[in-house]
Structures are given as structure tokens and as C-alpha cells.
Amino acid sequence: MPSTTRITVTLPSDQVAELRKLTDNVSGYVAEAVARQIRHQLLGDDLRRHEAEHGPFSDEELSEARAKIFGSGGASKDADAA
């Protein structure tokens, strides 16, 4: 098990109430959400760095990436907005 650090986080009461409806392990749930956000941020940084060095992605590259991520059927409009 990785080492942990105990911290205090302040959240709106309504969010805490919803969290408790979703899980008995609020700390684990929040840790997963933070990890996902960190991965998202790092990926965005990598993509921006790549475009700065190599220029914007072509439509073909974007279509290929979407097919790999969402399957050969491509992504729906809702997935593009996410």
C-alpha cells in the first residue's frame, strides 16, 4: 500500500451528502478523483507540448485517436464534449 498523508478538505455540505450516498469510502473516492484529475492534467500538458513542437494534430490523427479511445465507431457528440 502506498504511503498516505492525512489532510483536511473542506467541501460544500451537499457534496459530502451526495458522496456518502455513493460510497462508504469517501477518502478512497476522493483519492481516485484526484488521481484522475492529475492524469488528465498531465495528458493535456503532453498534448500541448507535442502540438507546440510538431504543430496541430491533423483531422486524420484525431480520427485515429478517437477510434482507439472509443472504438472504430468513433465518439458521440457527448463524448467529444467531455
**Non-local CB neighbours of 45 within 8 Å, separated by 6+ positions:** none
Specify the pLDDT at position 76.
53
Q: Please tell me what DSSP assigns to residue 45.
A: H
**How many angstroms separate the first and last alpha carbons of the chain?**
32
Specify the pLDDT at position 59.
96
- Encode the chain (82 residues) as per-residue pLDDT tens digits: 789 999 999 999 999 999 999 999 999 999 999 999 999 999 999 999 999 999 999 999 999 999 999 997 655 545 454 4
Specify the pLDDT at position 82.
47
Please give the single-letter amino acid code of residue 29.
Answer: Y
Please give the single-letter amino acid code of residue 45.
Answer: D
